[in-house]
């Protein structure tokens, strides 16, 4: 499958008005994705972002099926349960869902793996911190892939967060009293 040609076809359909819904085209990351997807098996789960056309194609979803969903306005959310391919238009939205799937796989004791792709802005959010910390802490079968183009749509990620370290104090103590008053008398 020619990834670049596929996206060119999508771009042409946008240009001629056949597609009129929000569409985020891939491009410039072909080599990186092809290399990563060589490790991804057919039974593995893939969670992708709103920019997902390449990921869908590389997961093995037929190009006609991917294009059909794009033309029908589902560019950002082309889910394919049979291929275990999940996407969301919400930034970072896939993160805890992917972790939940990985937790289920761990309980099943089966060999599948979860691959969760996020953009560089999503990787700076609390959702990413929670998901990666929990997944690492519980040794879940999941790999997070940060796709860093420096932008969240058009917002420059590093510029808006700024630079520098926060001023944080931390102290520890032992609680002396239980949690009281939770039940009405």
Partner 1 sequence: MKYREELRKAMALLASDLRTLFVGQAVRYPGQAAYPTFADVPMNRRIELPVAEDFQAGYCMGLALEGYLPVCFYPRWDFALLAANQIVNHIDKARWLGWQAKVIIRTAVGWSEPHDQGPQHRQNYSKAFGEMCQDIDVVELEEACEVMPAYHTALLAERSTILVERIPLYGK
Residues at the site binding partner 1, with contacts judged by CB under 8 A: 77, 79-81, 86, 88, 90, 93, 95-105, 107-108, 127, 130-131, 134, 178-179, 182-185
Min separation Cβ 34 and partner 1, Å:
26
Q: Which is nearer to partner 1, 3 or 121 (CB)?
A: 121
Place of tokens 């420096």: 150
Give the up-direction half-sphere exposure of residue 47: CA atoms within 13 A in the CB hemisphere. 27
Q: In 3D, which of 33, 34, 44, 32 has the Cα closest to residue 141?
A: 44
Q: Which is nearer to partner 1, 170 or 179 (CB)?
A: 179
Q: Are 115 and 44 in contact (CB under 8 A)?
A: yes
Q: Which is nearer to partner 1, 77 or 143 (CB)?
A: 77
SS3 for 137-165 is HCCCCEEEEEECCCEECCEEHHHHHCCCC
Min separation Cβ 163 and partner 1, Å:
27
Give the up-direction half-sphere exposure of residue 185: CA atoms within 13 A in the CB hemisphere. 2
Min separation Cβ 56 and partner 1, Å:
13
d(CA 135, CA 124): 16
Q: Which is nearer to partner 1, 11 or 91 (CB)?
A: 91
Burial class (CB within 10 angstroms; exposed 0-12, middle 13-18, buried 19+) of 85: buried
Min separation Cβ 60 and partner 1, Å:
17
Q: Which is nearer to partner 1, 10 or 140 (CB)?
A: 140
Min separation Cβ 89 and partner 1, Å:
8
């Amino acid at each position: 499958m020619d990834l670049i040609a596929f996206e060119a076809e999508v771009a042409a359909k946008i240009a001629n008005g056949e597609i009129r819904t929000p569409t985020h085209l891939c491009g410039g990351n072909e080599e990186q994705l092809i290399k990563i997807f060589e490790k991804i098996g057919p039974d593995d789960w893939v969670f992708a972002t709103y920019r997902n056309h390449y990921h869908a194609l590389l997961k093995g979803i037929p190009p006609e099926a991917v294009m059909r969903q794009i033309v029908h306005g589902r560019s950002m959310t082309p889910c394919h349960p049979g291929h275990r391919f999940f996407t969301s238009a919400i930034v970072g939205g896939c993160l805890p869902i992917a972790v939940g799937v990985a937790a289920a796989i761990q309980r099943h004791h089966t060999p599948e793996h979860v691959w969760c792709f996020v953009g560089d802005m999503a990787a700076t959010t609390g959702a990413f911190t929670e998901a990666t910390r929990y997944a690492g802490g519980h040794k879940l079968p999941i790999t997070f892939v940060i796709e860093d183009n420096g932008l969240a749509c058009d917002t420059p990620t590093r510029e808006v967060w700024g630079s520098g370290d926060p001023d944080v104090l931390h102290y520890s103590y032992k609680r002396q009293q239980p949690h009281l008053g939770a039940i009405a008398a």
